[in-house]
Amino acid sequence: MAEADRYMFDHKELAEALITKQGIREGLWGIAVEFGLAAVNVPVGPDTKTISPAAVNLVQKIGIQRFPEANNLTVDAGELQRRAGAPKRPPARKK
């Protein structure tokens, strides 16, 4: 079987991983993305003499920030802590 070469996460999964990494135990947290903007001239024609000004958005940083109320991006760090601390069920026995 081939090894995976990519793992994708949705917003909440990413927030959960970063909350856990930072050891945060309370509050509503969600991802925050810092963008940068750059201007460049881009070749647009079949020849390299035709160019057009363009804007490029750069993802500079990805992190988490505290939110005042729950929304579709937030994770409750206290709930995440309770889930992580819950005893795990033993595996079911085969009959």
Residue-wise pLDDT for 29-87, tens only, equals: 999 999 999 999 999 988 888 999 999 999 999 999 999 999 999 999 999 989 887 55
**Confidence check: pLDDT of 8 > 80:** yes
Domain that holds residue 78: 11-82
CA separation, residue 71 to residues 30, 47, 93 (Å): 9, 49, 40
Domain count, the chain: 1
Q: Per DSSP, what are the bridge partners of residue 56?
A: 38
Helix ranges (H only) for the chain are 11-22, 77-85
**Confidence check: pLDDT of 91 > 90:** no
CA–CA gap between residue 45 and residue 35 (Å, rounded): 29
Indicate whether 58 belongs to any domain.
Answer: yes
Indicate whether 88 belongs to any domain.
Answer: no
**Confidence check: pLDDT of 21 > 80:** yes
CA–CA gap between residue 46 and residue 50 (Å, rounded): 8
